Amino acid sequence: MIKAILGRNIVWWALLALLLSSIVNWRLCTIERGKYLLGIFYNGYYQNTSDGIVYKDYLKTHGITHEFIKENI
Amino acid sequence: MFRAFAFVSPCVLWIFLMRDFVFGFIPVNMDTNTIYGVTKFYFNNVLNGVVPLWEPFVSLGRPFYAIAICNLFNPVTQIVPLLKLAGVNYANAFVIYMVVYFFIGCIGFYFLSREVLKDRYMAYLAYLGLMFSSLGASMFTQFTFLEIGVPAIWFFFFLLRFARQQTQGNFLGLTFFIMILISSYLPFYFMTVFLCFLFVFIFLYTKEIPKFCSNLYHFFFKFWRLSLFCLIGIFLAAAPLVAYKILDAGGDVVAPGRHCQYSSPQECYDRTMGRQAGMSYDEITRSGTLGERIDMQYLFGHTDKMTYGSDSLLFLPVWIYVVIGLSFFLRLKRLTVLLSSMALLIGLTSLGNASALYAFLYRHIFFFAYFRNLFFLGVFLIPIVILLGVYQLQMLLSIGGDNLGVSAKKGIIFGVIVLHAIFFWFLKHFEGVPTASYVTLGFSAAALAIYYSGIARFSFKIWTGIFAILLILQPVWILKAYALNAREFASVLPSMHVTPVFSWVRPQEPAVNSSRIYQFVPYEDFWYDMSMTDAPPQVGYPQSTTRWTFDLAEHTPDNILANYARYKIVLYDDLSPVAKPVKGPSGELSVDYFDVNTLRLKADFSKPKMVVYNDSYTRSWKAYLDGMPVELLRVNEAFKGIRVPAGEHEIEFSYHPPGGTWVYITATVVLFIFLFWSALMIYWRL
């Protein structure tokens, strides 16, 4: 029974998800992405004139604020 | 006939969706703009009868460093000059070449999938999945993805074929795509993927490896001449890259673009002049990792807001994710582990310093210091995940059939609906998910419920058609939105054929502002190469320049350098140290011949002069006086000079880097030979 359960994809996917969440520094990815987007798009209002909504949302939802910019960039 | 229609119609649909790009209304952008500039510069000069080795128009003259990394020797790339000769302009010819290359990649993926899954219907779905992923859309901003992705797909196809059938044709096909991988771009991305593959494969297929090695050994032994030719072919295809590395090792060329992006001015100077070929860990991981470029949120949401100009857009048909989600309760198979582990290892490597794996690889494997932009590795995730998804679909569909009882069928249909509902709930967590994704989800639940219920007894061909619609429904909507968003970038790139003309004076101001196609990234260098006109006299931090020019620019104020180097030729006579700039042709000095590698002047001085050509000096430049070699002097720190006696004389400056033009011509010819040779052997089933 246990062997049958362990032999299913779901266990493997869960293992991969666990691995990804534990060994990847996602906070660092967010900071790097924030810097990248700000480097390209930052105009003081977190907006890119052509697709402002996306990056405005991104920066907001990831807690990237003026303070973050001052501290990290 | 039907099969041809099935394969051609998606191509037509794709071209229709991307018509503004394909027909040249929207110019190529980002790195593709660079690659277009390089390609145009190369073939324009080749059609003028000159293999370009020097770029005299930018950075005060520099080696044409990009010649070895822009897929210029690939037989498919030769479409560009052929179309030009047929009357198509360079920009349109370049886009046609890219699109053809992309479709060749999709066909390769069909063959690879058919080889892996042993099912042509599933392989066809994989073909559609790749065609309607971000791989096609991203070619207009990051053609490098195709340069490294397409030959890698074909390589794995021939590797698998050769593992199953040790024929000469398969071996030649394998060799040909190794040659393409080596000659098209830095091979390190592919090497990383191949390492990941080997690592996982050895673990999972341990029993098969001795047999493969034994077969390979017997093949080498039996066809030793062929093997030797293939080895020679690989060396010849690698010659352009090797020629550049020899030039680089000679010390005349530096790459400030590699070292100065995130360094202090002093670090930038020290590292550049120290000619550190590899990059530091910090230089690589500081920018360009996959974590920096993609975010989970944008795999599903806001896909209609993708701006033209992002060179890292990544999306897969949402139905691929749905199918992977549905496979949760399937039996775990070795191929699932192989593909997902490869994706995991490649993903972790491309995350740079956000995962420990890259740091480990950087410390222990030498070539990891020689490439950055780790997000390029992300391109390999696209075919791997699609293949994984289609494989899960194949297993899911194998569950149904007449053997199932009514209760089993009900159970499966219930499971299908519940899993779709869970995926619906998952999607609701993202902002801006397109309606097309929800529609796909709804149709998918209905189609699979009908499939498992056995109500509609369609042939598998019909089911494949239904699944094909599910697969492309959401990507069609995304591509349409993407093309609409890009319309604001409509502008024109230099695309007409040019015969370069020697200009005596460099401009003080940039020629055009429209070269900034993408408002945040300047691409002036390549605009000047496309148009073969001179840039203002400045150096900056280019990817390649000569060490003396860089050194001079680093300790000379910009305005002083610009004032001095404004004039291409200055004259000194023995009595006066004051330079006399030459502002145009005269009876004393005129241009006899000019191409990007050579300048020939006619002089008629009343007294001996020092002629200084304000174009960067390297030791590969040679000087000739009346056809006889004379000493070329490095003058005014970074430029070329020659002593000319009084009277009528012919002066020539010409560039002769390691390998000369032959390495490039040979690489092109050898690739053609191996293409036809392997095609014939496969056709004859040898």
Does pLDDT of B18 surpass 60?
yes
Share above pLDDT 90 across residues of chain B, in percent, rounded to a whole number: 69
CA distances to B200, B247, B311, B534 from B525, rounded to whole Å, are: 43, 21, 19, 10
B chain contacts of residue A40, beta-carbon cutoff 8 Å: 520
Helix then strand count (H, E) for chain A reads 5, 0
B299 in helix, strand or coil?
helix
Which whole number is the average pLDDT over B616-639?
A: 94
Q: Do B292 and A12 touch (CB under 8 A)?
A: no
Categorize the per-residue pLDDT at B27 as very low, low, confident or very high, splitting at 50, 70 and 90: confident
Where do we find the tokens 């857009």? B313
Categorize the per-residue pLDDT at B518 as very low, low, confident or very high, splitting at 50, 70 and 90: very low
Average pLDDT, chain B: 90
Within an 8 Å CB–CB cutoff, is residue A21 touching chain B?
no
Contact B197, B139 (CB under 8 A): no
Within an 8 Å CB–CB cutoff, is residue A60 touching chain B?
no
Does pLDDT of A2 surpass 80?
no
Side chain identity at B527, as an amino acid letter?
A: W
pLDDT at B247: 86
Q: φ and ψ at B565, to 5 degrees? A: -80, 5
A chain contacts of residue B332, beta-carbon cutoff 8 Å: 7-9, 11-12
Q: What is the largest CA-CA distance in chain A?
A: 59
Sheet hosting strand B639-644, strand order edge to edge:
B576-581, B569-573, B609-616, B639-644, B633-635
Residues A15-63 have pLDDT tens digits of: 999 999 999 988 888 778 777 766 655 445 544 445 444 444 555 556 6
Q: Pick the residue from chain B with its C-alpha nearest to A48.
A: B307
Interface size A-B, in CB pairs within 8 Å, comes to 90
Q: Pick the residue from chain B with its C-alpha nearest to A50.
A: B307
Within an 8 Å CB–CB cutoff, is residue A5 touching chain B?
no
Does pLDDT of B501 surpass 90?
yes
Q: Do B340 and A12 touch (CB under 8 A)?
A: yes
Contact B289, B353 (CB under 8 A): yes
Q: Pick the residue from chain B with its C-alpha nearest to A39.
A: B520
Within an 8 Å CB–CB cutoff, is residue A1 touching chain B?
no
pLDDT at B524: 61
pLDDT at B93: 96
Best to test chain B binding among A32, A55, A60, A72 (most B CBs inside 10 Å): A32
d(CA B191, CA B283): 21
Does pLDDT of B106 surpass 90?
yes
Give CA B455 to chain center in angstroms.
48
d(CA B165, CA B387): 22
Contact B473, B447 (CB under 8 A): no
Categorize the per-residue pLDDT at A67 as very low, low, confident or very high, splitting at 50, 70 and 90: low
Closest CA–CA distance from residue B529 to any residue of chain A (Å): 25
Does pLDDT of B64 surpass 60?
yes
- Candidate from A12, A20, A54 with C-beta closest to B332: A12
> Which candidate, B183, B191, B175, B178, places its Cα nearest to that of B227?
B175
Contact B272, B255 (CB under 8 A): yes
* Out of B32-46, B526-540, B589-603, least confident range: B526-540
d(CA B97, CA B42): 15
d(CA B558, CA B218): 64
Tally Cβ neighbours within 10 Å of residue B524: 18
Q: φ and ψ at B7, to 5 degrees? A: -85, -30
Q: Where is pLDDT greater, at B69 or B487?
A: B69
Best to test chain A binding among B295, B336, B426 (most A CBs inside 10 Å): B295
CA distances to B28, B170, B408 from B23, rounded to whole Å, are: 11, 36, 53
